[in-house]
Amino acid sequence: MQQQLRKVFVTRRIPQEGLRVLSQAAICDIKQWNSDEPIPRAELLKGAAGAHGLLCLLSDKVDKEVLDAAGPDLKVISTLSVGFDHLALEDIKRRGIRVGYTPDVLTDATAELSVALLLATSRRLPEAVQEVKNGGWRSWAPEWMCGHGLSESTIGIIGLGRIGQAIGRRLKPFGVRRFLYSGRQPRPECAAELQAEHVPLDKLAEESDFVIVSCSLNPETEGICNKHFFSKMKTTAVFVNTSRGAVVNQEDLYQALASSQIAAAGLDVTVPEPLPMDHALLTLKNCVILPHIGSATYATRNTMSVLAANNLLAGLRGEPMPSELQL
């Protein structure tokens, strides 16, 4: 019956599979911002009003204002992401709202993209492609377009979680000699496969040939890759970030790259997103920037949308979610 339908607001066009799961459950009255463009703030506030469930994206800041706009009926927030730094978790918890997210299903795709970005950056692929197109390729030359290889290297992973481990697993066969990692505490069970050594951040910076950032963004990790950190890195080292842009102080990264304090950086995430076309980082040849495409395979995004839909439905039914964030 109509009055039993739960009001659901979906903040973006999402893969059809997820929407189909929501529709077929026949317990939702679905409203959607049916566009590939981010929802304007005013529309988000309007759409959330009176909703029982919100299916949102990492680009939607769900803060006190949105929660107030939604009102007391809001029982579940399901984000189409594993990252949850866009959600005001304390406020959400205080209001008794449950949160679903999408861990695991995007781990392989994100790890794969991280490896692709690392190789593109360390072997200077975008620069080389550009040289072919602009006539810079004159002949084979012994010292032209050289980069840094993985063989016998030391890899430092900041945040040896699901994605960090999956990246390490993929890099090991390239002949990596040693893995280091940093995090709040040693995680022997995560480190065993790579025989990775838990080290303080400074030591990771000093000894790594490749630094990969795959931690979550939280108050402790915000800005940890800063001037001090880059000053400890080797001048031949390559820095890769596929976690969140705010883990990095971008001014400091720019200086480190421009002054050749470090060799190169590959970023899938920035602040802000999208990065303005006139941003200083875009002027650097030794900086490869991607538009936050870590999980962007068709299959992964479909699976994420189905998981986000099932999380939402379970929350609305008061059942255990397939992937619930423990608040």
CB 83 within 8 A of CB 139: no
**301 is an interface residue for ligand NDP by CB under 6 A:** no
7 contact partners, CB below 8 Å, separation of at least 6: 28, 29, 31, 50, 51, 52, 53, 73
Total of chain residues touching ligand NDP, rule CB under 6 A: 33
Contact between 223 and 247 (Cβ < 8 Å):
yes
DSSP 227-292: HHHHHHS-TT-EEEE-S-GGGB-HHHHHHHHHTTSSSEEEES--SSSSPPTT-GGGG-TTEEE--S
184 part of the interface to ligand NDP, by CB under 6 A: yes
Task: Look up residue 192 and give its DSSP letter.
Answer: G
What residues numbered 57-76 form the site for ligand DGY, per CB under 6 A? 58
Instruction: Decide which of ligand NDP, ligand DGY, none touches 162; Cβ closer than 5 to 8 Å per partner kind.
Output: ligand NDP
The residues in 263-302 that bind ligand DGY, with binding defined as CB under 6 A, are 294-295
164 interacts with ligand DGY by CB under 6 A: no
Give the C-alpha distances (Å, rounded to integers) separating 91 from 32, 45, 53, 66, 324.
Answer: 24, 16, 16, 11, 17
Footprint of ligand NDP on residues 3-42 (CB under 6 A)? none
Residue 77 binding target from ligand DGY, ligand NDP, none, CB below 5 to 8 Å by type:
none
59 binds ligand NDP (CB under 6 A): no
Indicate if 228 belongs to the active site.
no
Nearer to ligand DGY, 121 or 303 (CB): 303
Q: Which residues bind ligand NDP (CB under 6 A)?
A: 82-83, 103, 106-107, 110, 158-164, 182-185, 187, 214-218, 220-221, 242-244, 268-269, 292, 294-295
Q: What are the catalytic residues? A: 292
